[in-house]
Structure 1
Amino acid sequence: MRKKQSPFIITLTTLFVLLLSIFTVEGAKKTYGVVGSSNGNVKLFVFGDSYVDTGNFIHSQSYKPPCGITFPGHPGGRFCDGRVLTDYLALYLKIDSPIPNAYRNASNIQNGINFAYGGTGVFDTHIDGPNLTAQINTFEQLIQQNLYTKTDLQSSFVLVNAGGNDYTAHIQHGSFFDIPKFTKSLVEQLARDIKRIQSLGVGKVAVSLIQPMGCLPELTVIDMHMNCIDLVNKVSQNHNQLLNDAIKQFNTQAGKTVLVTLDLYNAFLSAIDTMNKAHDRNSSLMNPLEECCVANMGHECGDVDEKGAKQYKVCQNPNLAFFWDTVHPSQNGWNAIFTLLQPSIAQFTLL
């Protein structure tokens, strides 16, 4: 997910447009119970954007300090201070996080491959990064090269997280008033991509619903980080309803559950609500609608000037923050989110 700057709002119509135009989706070790005591051939394949990218977007803020200060202790390609959704799912599956495709070689693919690339979408949203179709193309080519056996694929797990950047790109191209129509086309293409992944022989596919985009600090700043912007959250709600319907239809046609959804929307809201209540009781705790890494005007977290002076400030304790920057959760945030997703993950592993 890439950060975008926005002017101040003058009219209600302009407010709506700008609220939509500025959200983007880019991007403590814990043992989780999961699939038996030995995971042998279990592999994880990941597709999408920066919420699940663990290192493919090499020339990005994810490879600059202060990213990675919590884990692995230095910038490691995650749009976060530490672990992201991919890492927590891998921990749950009792495997190491799959290698980013950018660093793939014949000796490091035993846990799967991460094809996700920060800033990308279902459609073309990034000048260089591969969209979801291109990511799947690479996966299919590797299958055709017999990099993985049929048994490997049947025992594998797939995580897909995409869509937020598509809304940003759509608005930036001047399309402000056809969001419902765009959502329909976006979900239809996403559904085709998901079906294609499943048709390649993978055993289990989990698809993230889109997060409550109106709760991103880049938007809540307009309300002094006091509340989520309900108008924008309705876009997320509509997207998620259509995607849920598509997944249910696919499972019905298959005669069994072959796909599951991970409800990021309600997991975000629930975790934020819990942290909000704690903040109300103790004002020394962080407001969950504020980011930990605060950049100076016109800059992003990680920027430095020509003299090397930091153009950002990091909160005292990232472990108390829900958001790392204006669009990405912190490791603490992802940990809270994943904890709430575990019932869906359990269904995911039992498919």
Structure 2
Amino acid sequence: MKLIIVLLQIFLLLPIFSFSIQSNYSYIFSFGDSFTDTGNLVVLYGGLATATPGVWIVKPPYGMTFFGRPNGRASDGRLSIDFIAEALGLPLLPPSLAAAKQSFRRGANFAVGGATALERAFFVDKGFKAVSPFNISLSIQLGWFDALKPSLCSSPQACKDYFAEALFVVGELGWNDYAVMLLAGKSVDEAGSHVPEIVGNICAATEKLIKEGGKTVVVSGIPPLGCAPANLVLMANQTGGEYEPGTGCLRDLNLLSKEHNAQLRRALARLGGRSPAGVRVVYADLYSPIIDFAAAPGRYGLDGEQLRACCGGVGGRYNVDLAALCGMPGVSACADPSKYVNWDGVHLTEAANRRIADGWLRGPYAHPPILNTTATATD
């Protein structure tokens, strides 16, 4: 038994290498927010991005680890969607709002940083100030998808045949919905009262993609909101400041994440159960891996302080300061991002994204794993 434990520990500490495999997928189409966005937010801002507060992802040290420059991703390198594409032997997904000359025959990414599952009108009508200036909700992204279809397939049946070979990914959605409410002073309970609406919109999008011909739709839950360094700084007083003993994360925010994920997983299981034969609805767990990293970072080779941002701030417990965000002049990154879970207070490092993607592809962080082609619905 001791030998098995030692071998397991050694295995977990080994570097994870991306490699392509033979798969049933010829294309990827993805949706979501900044956890999945590969450049759409920067395209939307255009030339104003370099001078717009909050769009610091266009500045170094973003992209430092893999691309060597800022590239529209909210990380030091690749996102989980990038590692999934690489593992399936597909090109990294171009942002759907890229120049018209860009080819989307191998897939497209409709995700946009700041996107919500709920309609923008929901927030505007309630007077929320923090909502994105752009109309980039999930339904809008689905509209972009519909507009792209004529360039990909010539008839409804041709589209069904085409999309049957695609992997659809509905990336993280919900973080921004809850954050807008919480930052406006709403209680965690009030934000949580909207979980059914948010989950309903995500499931409606999933069902639409199935009707379009999709055979595999991967749907991400949300991360533990209480473990994000930025939330630990901004929301400790608002949530009562009770911390989980095993992780140091904010308890009430994590309970909100758990409730969202539980409702989402149940709804996806129902959807999978009534979907046509051969359709797989995959629940991608974004909560458990980050909790695992927070509880035992060294076990995963993430030896940096697990609740501390690699880039930004001026020190302090979480290295988060709104006056010194990652990408602002004079703000630097930690010496080795590969040892950290969190990149900029909200988003994840390439190292964390790599491990999450591997857990979605092969388990244990997806139900069923993407590469498990025998199961047909979430369990």
User: TM-score if structure 2 supplies the norm length?
Assistant: 0.75
Equivalent position to 2:76, from 73, 78, 81: 81
Q: CA deviation at 1:98?
A: 1.5
Counterpart residue number, 1:287: 305
1:108-138 CA-to-partner distances (Å, cap 9, x unmatched) read 2132000100111112241115111000011
Q: CA deviation at 1:278?
A: 7.5
1:265-293 CA-to-partner distances (Å, cap 9, x unmatched) read 112112333315689xx9xx411111100
Deviates more, 1:291-300 or 1:222-231: 222-231
Equivalent position to 1:340, from 359, 364, 370: 359
Superposition RMSD in Å: 2.6
C-alpha distance in 1 between matches for 2:101 and 2:373: 28
Residue type at the aligned position of 2:152: L
C-alpha distance in 2 between matches for 1:65 and 1:348: 40
Counterpart residue number, 2:228: 216
- The alpha-carbon distance between structure 1 residues 273 and 62, as it changes in their structure 2 partners (threshold 3 A), is same
Instruction: Kindly indicate whether the alpha-carbon contact (under 8 Å) linking 1:322 and 1:332 is maintained by their aligned counterparts in 2.
Output: yes
Equivalent position to 1:48, from 32, 54, 72: 32
Equivalent position to 2:289, from 267, 272, 275: 267
- The alpha-carbon distance between structure 1 residues 244 and 350, as it changes in their structure 2 partners (threshold 3 A), is closer
C-alpha distance in 1 between matches for 2:374 and 2:35: 21
Instruction: Kindly indicate whether the alpha-carbon contact (under 8 Å) linking 2:16 and 2:355 is maintained by their aligned counterparts in 1.
Output: no
Counterpart residue number, 2:176: 165
Counterpart residue number, 1:248: 269
Instruction: Kindly indicate whether the alpha-carbon contact (under 8 Å) linking 1:44 and 1:157 is maintained by their aligned counterparts in 2.
Output: yes
Residue type at the aligned position of 2:195: T
The answer to whether residue 42 in structure 2 is matched with residue 32 in structure 1 is: no
Q: CA deviation at 1:86?
A: 1.1
Q: What are structure 1's unaligned runs of at least 5 residues?
A: 1-27, 305-309
C-alpha distance in 2 between matches for 1:334 and 1:349: 25
Moved over 6 A (4+): 223-226
1:7-52 CA-to-partner distances (Å, cap 9, x unmatched) read xxxxxxxxxxxxxxxxxxxxx994335434xx7x711111010001
Deviates more, 1:268-277 or 1:64-73: 268-277
Residue type at the aligned position of 1:321: Y
C-alpha distance in 2 between matches for 1:241 and 1:68: 33
Q: CA deviation at 1:350?
A: 6.8
Counterpart residue number, 2:366: none
Q: CA deviation at 1:71?
A: 1.5
The answer to whether residue 338 in structure 2 is matched with residue 319 in structure 1 is: yes
Q: CA deviation at 1:75?
A: 0.5
Residue type at the aligned position of 1:160: V
1:88-113 CA-to-partner distances (Å, cap 9, x unmatched) read 11012111111111215355213200
C-alpha distance in 1 between matches for 2:61 and 2:95: 20
1:177-228 CA-to-partner distances (Å, cap 9, x unmatched) read 4233211111112211221122222231100011111111113455899711
Equivalent residues, number? 310
C-alpha distance in 1 between matches for 2:140 and 2:313: 32
The answer to whether residue 56 in structure 2 is matched with residue 67 in structure 1 is: no
C-alpha distance in 2 between matches for 1:30 and 1:276: 18
1:228-287 CA-to-partner distances (Å, cap 9, x unmatched) read 1121100000001110111011111125453111011112112333315689xx9xx411
Instruction: Kindly indicate whether the alpha-carbon contact (under 8 Å) linking 1:83 and 1:331 is maintained by their aligned counterparts in 2.
Output: yes
Instruction: Kindly indicate whether the alpha-carbon contact (under 8 Å) linking 2:18 and 2:83 is maintained by their aligned counterparts in 1.
Output: no
Counterpart residue number, 2:6: none
C-alpha distance in 1 between matches for 2:27 and 2:99: 14
The answer to whether residue 251 in structure 2 is matched with residue 230 in structure 1 is: yes
Identity of aligned residues (%): 26
Instruction: Kindly indicate whether the alpha-carbon contact (under 8 Å) linking 1:244 and 1:261 is maintained by their aligned counterparts in 2.
Output: yes
Secondary structure (helix, strand or coil) at the match of 1:314 reads: coil
Residue type at the aligned position of 2:36: V
